[in-house]
Amino acid sequence: MTTPRKKYRERDTEETKRKLLEAVSLIMKEVGHVDLKTMKITRRTGKSKGVISYHYKNLNELLKTYIKQKDYWPPFFERFNLSAEPTEEELRKMFIELMQDNFELFKDTPEMQKIILWQISQESPLLRSISDEREAEGARLLNMSSSYFRHSDVNFKAIIALLLGGSYYLVLHAATNKSTVCGVDINWDKDRHEILRTIAQVIGWSWDNAKQKHDS
């Protein structure tokens, strides 16, 4: 039987953990990862510095929890969980939607933008472990497509890598400098829609090219 005192402790624990995650979120929004220090986080909660180790073992565990809450890729992988033997059309459509949705969500998620900036600007075992988990799930999807490109000169993994990196760069550039890249400014709806259309074109071209090689 749960006693009132135990219920209170549980509520207090959850509230404290929520406040710690909220403090991390506010710091990320305001200044990015450079200020994610124990004292700066706990000061915002009004708690002593030991509160992080009490609830999360250490600062890294708190930051890992925060990043996993903000990372939209795990839900992506669940949503695009295809059957064991998807058709060519299912795979093609899945990659188009996956890369288009990534572009749109990254554009609309400032905290994820800060996380990716953090990931590419600082060597960190924590960020590497999260990135490796993401890569492992991505590799599973890419491996489903490997048979369609095996006997062609199309490197589909490289194409997805370029689309992913390009999407990140376009969004970060537009968010930070509010300016264009090669005359494209995704702060404008017209240019954003052109990027989405082009993502579909590039993936479509890669599949069509590989198919021609198979048929020839």
Question: In which band, very low, low, confident or very high, does the pLDDT at 191 lie, cut at 50, 70 and 90?
Answer: very high
- Residue 2 in this model has a pLDDT that exceeds 70: no
What is the rounded average pLDDT of the residues 170-191? 92
For the segment 138-145, the average pLDDT, to the nearest whole number, is: 90
Q: What is the pLDDT of residue 8?
A: 46
**pLDDT tens for each residue of 62-109:** 999 999 999 999 888 888 877 778 889 999 999 999 999 999 999 999
Nearest residue to 112 (alpha-carbon basis) of 191, 33, 197, 21: 33
pTM: 0.86
Mean per-residue pLDDT, 145-151: 90
* Residue 29 vs residues 24, 26, 113, 175: alpha-carbon distances, Å: 9, 5, 10, 13
Higher-confidence position of 178 and 164: 164
Give the mean pLDDT of the chain. Answer: 89
pLDDT at 213 over 70: no
As its CATH architecture, domain 71-215 has Orthogonal Bundle (1.10)
Residue 5, pLDDT score: 52
Can you tell me the distance from the alpha carbon of 104 to that of 169, in angstroms, rounded to the nearest whole number? 13
**How remote is the C-alpha of 3 from its chain's centroid?**
41
Is the Cβ–Cβ distance between 62 and 52 less than 8 Å? yes
Residue 131 CA to residue 114 CA, distance in Å, equals 14
Amino acid present at 33: H
Residue 14 in this model has a pLDDT that exceeds 90: no
Q: Enumerate long-range contacts of 165-171, CB under 8 Å, 24 or more apart.
A: 167/99, 167/102, 167/103, 167/106, 167/195, 167/199, 168/106, 168/116, 170/103, 170/195, 171/103, 171/106, 171/107, 171/113
